Amino acid sequence: MSGLESLYQELILDHAKNRRGFGLAAPGARSATVHQRNPICGDEITLRVELSDDGERVASVTWEGAGCSISQSSASMLVALLQEDGGDEGMAKADVEALIAQFREALRSRGKVPLDEETFADAAALSGVSKFTARVKCAMLAWVALEEGLRQA
């Protein structure tokens, strides 16, 4: 696989076109809305996270934004991952925080720490991004927004 193809896998291009969780849900009792932007390229995201009544689980994540295919697909993959692994009641907040930390570690590893498919599902396709240091911020954008949202919600 060439460098370019390892970066832009089919899955990434597909998520960038069919964005999961795109369109903000109406704000709820336990929601937080976060705006993040990448000052280098102007990419931006507005992400809304809704917690369960007890504040322990992530009930829903929706977002809006514009940016490159890496930032868009990464946001989409994050939502897909939370939906698949969280099921109806949603993933535990602590688990989501751990996932974000693990994702960050892999992306900052310059290709040394891969994202495993078992844990990250489609988002594992973003492993290739870690070799392109200029693009790491693009892939992190939605995850950083969610991290901030969990702090605020």
Residues 42-81 that bind other proteins (CB under 8 A): 42-44, 66-70
Q: Does 113 bind other proteins (CB under 8 A)?
A: no
Least spacing, CB of residue 42 vs other proteins, in Å: 4
Under the binding rule (CB under 8 A), the answer on residue 135 touching other proteins is: yes
Span near other proteins by CB under 8 A; candidates 36-44, 95-103, 120-128, 144-152: 36-44
Strand 91-92, strand 57-66: pairing: antiparallel
Stretch that binds other proteins, among 24-32, 40-48, 82-90, 96-104 (CB under 8 A): 40-48
In contact, 129 and 113? CB cutoff 8 Å:
no
Sequence-distant (6+) residues with CB within 8 A of 42 are: none
Closest CA to 133 of 110, 115, 114, 113: 110
